[in-house]
Amino acid sequence: MSKPFVADKHFKNEDFTQNPLARAVYEECVFEGCQFQNGFLDNQNFVDCTFRECDLSNTNVAYTLWNNVFFESCKLVGVAFDKSDPALMTIQFDKCNLTLAVFYGLTLHKTDFSGSNLSQADFTHTDLTEANFTDCNLDNTVFENTNLSKVNLSKAFNFNINPEVNTLKKARFSKEELIGLLKKHDIVIE
């Protein structure tokens, strides 16, 4: 059974916590100020969509397709993006709260996380080649067996990245934050 098609629709200040968004293919839609927290966005298709100032905390996104989706100033606490459909996944974030978000095993080339809070997020086995973490809080964020080649970590802060278990070829860092590569050695720099 094919999903209904919804295009060019603007959803503003809608509450989808009690009545979930209908399963459909959403193309070039804007979701602004909408509430999805603790709800279900599973098995959806979002193509060329924007989520602005929405709360998607702890929302189930299993098998959801995110193709060219932009999140701006959204709350995405605990969202398990690794359960989404990895095919065609292209997502961008600007000033979002991604605390405890899970990106395990995904390929997220050139993904922009600018200005986002990624505290305790999980990037284990994730390919982040050429991703942008400018001005991101990476406190207790997990990077393990992660490809960080050509990643921009300039102005990122609170990170703890072990160069021995991650690929960091041509990654960019600010001088002030290089201590984040040495934390595992428990050394003192004065």
Torsion of CA 85, 87, 90, 95, to 10 degrees: 20
pLDDT in tens, 16-29: 998 999 999 999 99
Q: Rg (Cα) of the chain, in Å, rounded?
A: 17
Q: Which CATH class is domain 7-94?
A: mainly beta
Per-residue pLDDT reduced to its tens digit, 97-137: 999 999 999 999 999 999 999 999 999 999 999 999 999 99
Confidence (pLDDT) at 97: 98
Q: Does residue 41 sit in helix, strand or coil?
A: coil
- The ranges assigned to domains in the chain are 7-94, 98-178
* Per-residue pLDDT reduced to its tens digit, 150-170: 999 989 999 888 888 999 999
- pLDDT at 76 exceeding the cut of 80: yes
User: Strands, E, within 53-129: which ranges?
Assistant: 65-72, 85-94
- Taking residues 179-190, what's their average pLDDT? 48
* CATH architecture of the domain with residue range 98-178: 3 Solenoid (2.160)
Q: Which residues of 14-50 are buried (b: 16+ CB within 10 A; e: fewer)?
A: eebeeeebebbbbbebbbeebbbbebbbeebbbbebb
CA distance 122 to 103: 6
Q: Do domains 7-94 and 98-178 have the same CATH topology?
A: yes
